[in-house]
Structure 1
């Protein structure tokens, strides 16, 4: 079988890109890393989630014909749990300051709720967007998840 140099180069680049994504996204391919860009205040369905409630990662929903966050009872095991909200002081939109404030606030909220820590469970904040900020949104949702799989009902106590 004869392949062109372009085909081999394209294949090599694709393989490198795929492997690079796995290596940089997490230390293991079966580990998921979520950060403050994973969801935001404009992600459909996220504003329906309240503190203490669980939900799965956004997925296509035929009923809504869109990618949406869907509530899941914590007792069933879920991919995420909202554990609180942080109110950001009024001011001009400053994305870097907002990110810092959100991460610090969510870490403090987590340590108050789970003072001994919670091994294997990580967190991320859900931030307002410039558009929702302009509409007065100053709320950050704090979310926890298990990078290696679903949260168990025991994790969501």
Structure 2
């Protein structure tokens, strides 16, 4: 008499199915090193404009950011600039100044109603500093995904 196995393929199918489970997306944390003044394309972005995360361009042979209309959805939006006092380039002081000034502007724009937004500064590098760059761009983004339009209040 032949024995019929009811569950013969089920364990194999279930095991195979676990190979195709997509893990949940992790939140992105952007720091002052994520984009710098030397990232190609960032110096073309103005306050209020949206732009992409840096991506490698084969044609350009480097990482670059692109202007993106906010209405189409974007990775980031510039919400202001802060001018850094002149003096010698000091990475630690510049980083502290950039986070403090962008944080104050972020708090004044969004206050307690942040709607899942975060911010980060885009800072001069030693090379751009030597060329006279004294501006920090403040950018807002959504760690859990893309912006679905301009997020600037009012």
Aligned counterparts of 2:54 and 2:138: Cα–Cα separation in 1: 16
Aligned counterparts of 2:150 and 2:132: Cα–Cα separation in 1: 36
CA contact (8 A) 2:77 2:150 kept: no
Question: Are 1:127 and 2:123 matched, yes or no?
Answer: yes
- Residues 79-135 of structure 1 deviation map (CA, whole Å, 9 limit, x = unaligned): 000000010000111110000000010011112222343131110000100011111
Rg (Cα) greater in structure: 2
The match for 2:134 among 131, 138, 142 is 138
| TM-score, scaled to structure 2 | 0.78
| TM-score, scaled to structure 1 | 0.77
Aligned counterparts of 1:125 and 1:91: Cα–Cα separation in 2: 19
Give the 3-state SS of the residue equivalent to 1:103 in structure 2.
Answer: helix
Compare the two structures and name the one with the higher helix fraction: 1
Counterpart of 1:71 in structure 2 is 67
When residues 113 and 156 of structure 1 are mapped into structure 2, their CA distance, relative to the original with a 3 A threshold, is: closer
Shift of 1:61: 3.1
Aligned counterparts of 2:64 and 2:150: Cα–Cα separation in 1: 26
Instruction: Provide the aligned length of Structure 1 versus Structure 2.
Output: 130
The match for 2:40 among 39, 44, 63 is 44
Aligned counterparts of 2:150 and 2:77: Cα–Cα separation in 1: 12
Shift of 1:154: 5.5
Counterpart of 1:60 in structure 2 is 56
CA contact (8 A) 1:111 1:117 kept: no
Structure 2 unpaired stretches of 5+: 1-23
Aligned counterparts of 1:41 and 1:63: Cα–Cα separation in 2: 20
Aligned counterparts of 1:129 and 1:154: Cα–Cα separation in 2: 28
The match for 1:32 among 28, 39, 57 is 28
CA contact (8 A) 1:106 1:125 kept: yes
